[in-house]
Amino acid sequence: MTEAARKGCHFMRYSRLHAFTLIELLVSIAVIAILLGLAAPALRSVRESATEIRVLAGLRDAGVSFTQYAQSYQGYNPWAASFEPLYVEPPEIASGYISTNLPWQLSSHWPCLFHEIAPWVTHFRSWLTSLDDRDPQRPWVSDAGGSGVPSFHYPRSFLARPGIWGRGAPADPERLIAATRIDEVVFPANKALLFDATRAYIRRPLKPDEPRAVLAADGAASMRRDSAAHGPVQNWLLSPSPAVYHDTANGVRGRDF
């Protein structure tokens, strides 16, 4: 047998020993697919947990700003009088503003009172649960057309006197539109100061009773379920159905948990 023939036989034996058959290849692909399928939920869970940690940190950061606000305004919680302009862009960038004849709009526009306490250029990103539709240079502007609206909302129960959420309709409810103080919060560990209104980090469609990030008035942030909160009561100045966290029985003196 010639040298070339011997080399050819050796190559054929090597190929038969080491080549994959079609069945082996298909089995390998199936095993990899199963492993990926098993790992995907765990990877999603890790990603969502990391996002929850970031969102809770953003809530705590906002809570520090609320404390600084109260210290700067003689112990009062953020509040604006009727028709007071609320600037929806940093004053040094633009002068656009909105105003309202009732304070409820502050629920989603509370940052408009924080331009000096927590300048938006350095703080606004931490008040958002997702930056997908935001310009990194102007995160307070949404592609949806809104401006100055964070992911975290401020409960209406801090924006009027507790009698608005009393057992019976007050004789003159509009006189109860007034600022509240931090020392009026009777249950700071059980009263929501801010809550995540968007839950953008949770997969869509939202399942019933998905948790949301909530900041208590004592500064503690945690994931909560709406079903665990006390039921809301009638706001005697608003006709729509009452909302959890917003319409707490006895207002700022009540408890959500």
Mean pLDDT for the chain?
Answer: 85
Structure-model confidence comparison of residues 240 and 172, the more confident one? 172
> Is 118 within 8 Å of 68 (Cβ atoms)?
yes
How many domains would you assign to the chain?
Answer: 1
78 domain-assigned: yes
Q: Does residue 45 register a pLDDT over 80?
A: no
128 domain-assigned: yes
33 domain-assigned: no
240 domain-assigned: yes
Within 10 angstroms of residue 149's Cβ, the number of other Cβ atoms is 22
7 domain-assigned: no
Burial (0-12, 13-18, 19+ Cβ within 10 Å), 77? buried
> Is 202 within 8 Å of 228 (Cβ atoms)?
no
Give the confidence band of 201 by pLDDT, cuts at 50, 70, 90: confident
10 domain-assigned: no
Residue whose token pair is 């023939």: 5
1 domain-assigned: no
- Which domain range does residue 132 map to? 49-253
8 domain-assigned: no
| φ and ψ of 38, to 5 deg | -70, -35
Chain segment 54-94, per-residue pLDDT in tens: 999 999 999 999 999 999 999 999 999 888 889 999 988 86
Residue type, 127: W
Chain segment 87-139, per-residue pLDDT in tens: 999 988 866 778 887 889 999 999 999 999 999 999 999 999 988 778 888 99
